[in-house]
């Protein structure tokens, strides 16, 4: 059996689910050959979790009973979708992040060459759920949304014929006690405004005065360069840097992926901002990636050896995420921006720097999806992401189900977005300027 494996502490969970939403379900009953492959896949998943999960007790779950209950559902399923649902039910009983089945149609769709009709289309806006409403938080300059006048703070009231408010309420109630509720809510919105490149979607917004604004938005390719993670290709990675007023640097990126391109881009951005009064690193909406990239990035920010971002616990031992110190390191103040869509490796990066006292964290609590995982191809063509290590921050905090708690909580509000403000970024920049001002005052005060 051929398997594709990548050891990744995070995956584009939301991105894959969004892609699946854009792939039409296959109709028809299973063939006998498909039934056998689905059963082999179920057994593969069950055995992998039994043998490789970091907790051999699985939190007290009777794993044999789970198999005996759900395997017959796979055997007698009327379609591959029903068989997959039974497998998804099995992994959901663990109650942990980073377990999922990636359907074969998604893998095929994501493996297509970029072009008209391929997944990854966006109208050029980002959204979050704020106080139960789907709200635009950013609009990319020059995008279809920008050209039609869509602005941050506008509510996304309807997509096509579907009103979002009832759906968001239902999902919010169902996910009420999950630390990654905000990420799930955002995924619900994004799954409806993203899709295949070249498609057009009908969206009803409500502007700052609650007036309806109807737009026909064409979906175009997302920004960034193409990368791949295991069997998942056509993933877009981007990094941007700029100087804010008051000579504060800002570096933002969406994933810890593709080290051959991302690491040089990060280093170049940091070098260009070396004379800045401080650096803000924005990992809001960053869905994670590869922990060695976080370790390398942290190395440009610390001036001591033998530091680590946290510890991974495997079934048979532990491994520290040791920071790879770079010389010379940036010595100015560092702030990190996070939100409920900062996942996994982004949480390890922010939480690790916070524990080391090297960065002050601003924004809102992160998703609490921090486990070490791998992806393997199943006999039926689907892919399976599973956990084999837990993670604790540098000070020993278990972040799974808890998330990184900011030093300074700055809630996102629609009112601020409508005013064109970014309160978390502003708070971080203000803190940096105060740190530098206090340092200079100390240097010039006579002793």
Model confidence at 293: pLDDT above 60: yes
pLDDT at 433: 94
pLDDT at 2: 36
Average pLDDT over the chain reads 88
Residue whose C-alpha is closest to residue 370's, from 384, 350, 353:
350
The mean per-residue pLDDT over the stretch 212-238 comes to 87
Q: Which of the four pLDDT bands, split at 50, 70 and 90, describes residue 23?
A: very low
The mean per-residue pLDDT over the stretch 193-215 comes to 94
Residue whose C-alpha is closest to residue 77's, from 130, 127, 31, 141:
31
pLDDT at 117: 66
Model confidence at 119: pLDDT above 80: no
pLDDT digits 0-9 by tens, 49-92: 999 999 999 999 999 999 999 999 999 999 999 999 999 999 99
Tell me, rounded to whole angstroms, the distance of Cα 410 from its chain centroid: 20
What is the full DSSP assignment across 145-212? HHHTT--TT-EEEEETTEEHHHHHHHHHHHTTT-TTHHHHHHHHHHHHH-EETT-EEEEEEE-TTS-E
Cβ-Cβ contacts under 8 Å for 127 (sequence gap 6 or more): 134, 135, 136, 137, 156, 186, 189, 190, 193
pLDDT at 371: 82
Model confidence at 389: pLDDT above 70: yes
The mean per-residue pLDDT over the stretch 357-370 comes to 94
Tokens 């594709």 label which residue?
Answer: 4
Q: Roughly how many angstroms between the first and final C-alpha of the chain, as a whole number? A: 73
pLDDT at 230: 65
According to CATH, the topology of domain 24-102 is: Transcription Regulator spoIIAA (3.30.750)
Pair of tokens at residue 176: 């009420």
pLDDT higher at 381 or 176: 381
Q: What is the pTM of this model?
A: 0.84
- The helix-helix angle for 345-355 and 291-299 (nearest 10°) equals 30
Decide the pairing of beta strands 195-196 and 119-122. Answer: antiparallel
Q: Where are the domains of the chain?
A: 24-102, 119-221
Tell me, rounded to whole angstroms, the distance of Cα 363 from its chain centroid: 16
pLDDT at 137: 96
Tokens 């959901």 label which residue?
Answer: 92
Residue whose C-alpha is closest to residue 293's, from 328, 241, 344:
344
Q: Are 344 and 406 in contact (CB under 8 A)?
A: no
Distance between CA atoms of residues 47 and 380, nearest Å: 16
pLDDT digits 0-9 by tens, 168-192: 998 888 877 788 888 889 988 998 9
What is the full DSSP assignment across 302-336? ---SS-EEEEEEETTEEEEEE----SSPP-S-EEE
pLDDT digits 0-9 by tens, 240-289: 999 999 999 999 999 999 999 999 999 999 999 999 999 999 999 999 88
Burial class (CB in 10 A: 0-12, 13-18, 19+), 340: buried
pLDDT at 370: 86
| 3-state SS string for 422-433 | CHHHHHHHHHHH
Taking CA atoms, 420 is separated from 31, 208, 423, in Å, by 56, 11, 10
Class of domain 119-221: mainly beta
Pair of tokens at residue 228: 């791949």
């Amino acid at each position: 059996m051929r398997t594709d494996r990548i050891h990744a502490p995070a995956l584009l969970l939301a991105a894959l689910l969004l892609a699946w939403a854009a792939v039409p379900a296959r109709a028809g009953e299973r063939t006998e050959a498909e039934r056998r492959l689905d059963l082999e896949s179920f057994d593969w998943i069950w055995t992998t979790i039994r043998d490789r999960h970091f907790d051999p007790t699985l939190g007290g779950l009777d794993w044999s009973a789970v198999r005996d209950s759900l395997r017959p559902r796979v055997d007698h399923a009327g379609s591959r979708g029903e068989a997959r649902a039974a497998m998804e039910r099995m992994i959901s009983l663990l109650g942990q992040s980073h377990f999922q089945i990636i359907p074969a149609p998604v893998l095929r769709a994501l493996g297509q060459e970029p072009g008209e009709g391929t997944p990854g289309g966006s109208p050029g806006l980002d959204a979050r759920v704020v106080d139960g409403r789907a709200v635009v938080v950013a609009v990319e300059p020059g995008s279809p949304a920008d050209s039609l006048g869509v602005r941050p703070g506008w509510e996304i009231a309807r997509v096509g014929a579907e009103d979002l408010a009832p759906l968001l309420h239902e999902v919010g109630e169902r996910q009420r006690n999950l630390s990654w509720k905000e990420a799930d809510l955002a995924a619900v919105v994004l799954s409806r405004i993203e899709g295949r490149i070249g498609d057009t979607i009908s969206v009803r917004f409500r502007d700052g005065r609650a007036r309806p604004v109807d737009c026909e938005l064409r979906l175009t390719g997302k920004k960034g360069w193409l990368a791949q993670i295991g069997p998942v290709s056509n993933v877009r990675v981007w990094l941007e840097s700029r100087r804010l007023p008051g000579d504060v640097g800002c570096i933002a990126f969406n994933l810890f992926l593709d080290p051959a391109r991302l690491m040089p881009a990060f280093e170049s951005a940091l070098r260009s901002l070396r004379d800045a009064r401080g650096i803000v690193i924005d990992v809001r909406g960053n869905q994670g990636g590869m922990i060695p990239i976080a370790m390398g990035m942290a190395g440009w920010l610390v001036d001591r050896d033998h530091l680590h971002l946290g510890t991974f616990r495997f079934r048979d031992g532990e491994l520290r995420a040791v920071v790879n110190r770079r010389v010379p390191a940036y010595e100015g103040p560092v702030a990190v921006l996070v939100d409920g869509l900062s996942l996994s490796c982004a949480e390890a990066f922010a939480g690790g720097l916070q524990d080391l006292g090297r960065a002050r964290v601003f924004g809102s609590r992160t998703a609490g999806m921090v486990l070490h995982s791998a992806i393997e191809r199943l006999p039926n063509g689907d892919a399976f992401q599973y956990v084999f290590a837990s993670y604790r921050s540098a000070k020993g905090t278990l972040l799974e189900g808890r998330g990184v708690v900011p030093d300074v909580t700055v809630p996102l509000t629609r009112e601020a977005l409508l005013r064109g403000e970014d309160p978390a970024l502003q708070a971080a920049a203000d803190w940096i300027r105060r740190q530098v001002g206090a340092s200079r005052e100390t240097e010039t005060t006579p002793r």
